[in-house]
Amino acid sequence: MDTLKKCFEKINIRGEVSFDEPLARHTTFRVGGPADVFVTPADADALIVALSCARENKIPVFLLGGGANILVSDRGIRGVVVSMQGFSRITHSDDRLVVGSGLPVSDAAEYAAAHGLEGLGFLYSMPGSVGGALWMNARCYGSSISDIIEHVDIITEDLQLERYTVKPEQWNYKISPFQTRRVAILEATFRMSPDDPESIRARMECYRADRDAKGHFSAPSAGSVFKNNREFGEPTGAIIDKLGLRGFRIGDAKVSDVHANIVVNAGHATARDVDAVIHRLETEVSERLGLRLEREVLRVGEWD
Ligand SMILES: Cc1cc2nc3c(=O)[nH]c(=O)nc-3n(C[C@H](O)[C@H](O)[C@H](O)COP(=O)(O)OP(=O)(O)OC[C@H]3O[C@@H](n4cnc5c(N)ncnc54)[C@H](O)[C@@H]3O)c2cc1C
């Protein structure tokens, strides 16, 4: 740990570096212990410096977007957490929108609407960054972010800048090619369609209101805990609900009263509480219905 800190104290990174940063501050669950080193690079060069320092010293790296789809353990993350927040540039030219990976998807949708560009509106008010949405292939209201990607600029495993052009066969429901590689997503270009800003905004407002009605903003969470599976014949939330598990609680972690596929932090939950609730849902659905749920929320950090 000391070597790790010394290593990051020595190098000069444009951006911010802190130590023992509580990750509860950076996750939508509002749980999670400290990151040994927490780096927020200001630009691609600084990111490469941080990644090469970690690589030379065999230090593990976790890339953090908005922290909206992760459950960080109470013991936190060993090694370096790199926040991509600094990559927040957004521009457009005709119907092409270029967005830095650290920008919240909602901000990108707002910018696009203001410039009469539709395409990202369905993601409006979904927590998280553009980079996280690409990594997860975020999906809602019948669309996935992969539907509108033209290309994505990344830093490869060998710390090279590369332009990834979409190959449709690499994308599927909540599957992206970045899940099987260790790359940093820097920026993406989206194909948008021109539309009237007021109409785009009206649709975005409907999505926001729908999320509000589903209790998305009433308590800290990471949205749906499990993926839906068509073969199960109904959404995962309905399956959990039927088993009477709505409101099921361990400590301050509980199944949402509004949507049974969402686990919320109802006060001072620990990551362990949240994980225990999720585990119980998996077990009940498996033992009582013989169905194997697939987690969408990622467990990150040091777990038992
Ligand atoms: C209230 C609520 C509602 C939600 N609704 C939906 C929904 O409707 N549909 C949906 O799909 N999801 C939903 N989610 C989940 C979440 O918003 C999405 O998965 C989102 O895309 C996660 O983005 P993030 O930036 O927070 O990623 P994080 O949680 O920070 O990270 C997720 C993964 O992406 C990787 N990653 C992040 N940024 C980068 C980068 N720049 N380069 C490389 N890797 C990166 C991380 O390493 C990690 O593996 C919801 C969450 C909440 C809290």
- Mutate which of 106, 135, 227 for ligand 1? The one with the most ligand atoms within 8 Å of its CB, which is 135
pLDDT at 50 over 90: yes
**What does each C-alpha distance from 112 to 105, 190, 195, 209 come to in angstroms?**
10, 10, 10, 19
Question: Is pTM beyond 0.85 here?
Answer: yes
CATH of 90-212, one of 3.40.50.300, 3.30.465.10, 3.30.470.20, 3.40.50.150: 3.30.465.10
pLDDT of residue 11: 76
Ligand 1 contacts CB of residue 28 (under 6 A): yes
Whole-number Å distance, alpha carbon 3 to ligand 1 midpoint, is 31
| Domain residue limits, the chain | 2-83, 90-212, 218-300
* Helical pair 197-213 and 105-114, crossing angle rounded to 10 deg: 150
- pLDDT, one tens digit per residue, over 201-241 is 999 999 999 999 999 999 999 999 999 999 999 999 999 99
**What does each C-alpha distance from 16 to 59, 79, 103, 211 come to in angstroms?**
18, 16, 17, 34
Coil, strand or helix: which one is 49?
A: helix
What architecture is domain 2-83? 2-Layer Sandwich (3.30)
pLDDT of residue 4: 76
- pLDDT, one tens digit per residue, over 58-100 is 999 999 999 999 999 999 999 999 999 999 999 999 999 999 9
Ligand 1 contacts CB of residue 80 (under 6 A): no
pLDDT at 282 over 70: yes
Tokens, residue 181: 């590689």
Ligand 1 contacts CB of residue 84 (under 6 A): yes
What architecture is domain 218-300? Alpha-Beta Complex (3.90)
pLDDT of residue 1: 66
pLDDT at 31 over 90: yes
- Same-fold call for 2-83 versus 90-212: no
- pLDDT, one tens digit per residue, over 136-190 is 999 999 999 999 999 999 999 999 999 999 999 999 999 999 999 999 999 999 9
More confident residue, 12 or 57: 57
More confident residue, 167 or 12: 167
Ligand 1 contacts CB of residue 137 (under 6 A): no
**Which residues are designated catalytic?**
224, 296
Ligand 1 contacts CB of residue 126 (under 6 A): yes
> Which residue's C-alpha comes closest to atom 27 of ligand 1?
132
Tokens 């009206």, residue? Answer: 202
Whole-number Å distance, alpha carbon 65 to ligand 1 midpoint, is 7
- pLDDT, one tens digit per residue, over 102-126 is 999 999 999 999 999 999 999 999 9
Which of 193, 14, 4, 180 has its CA nearest to residue 94?
193
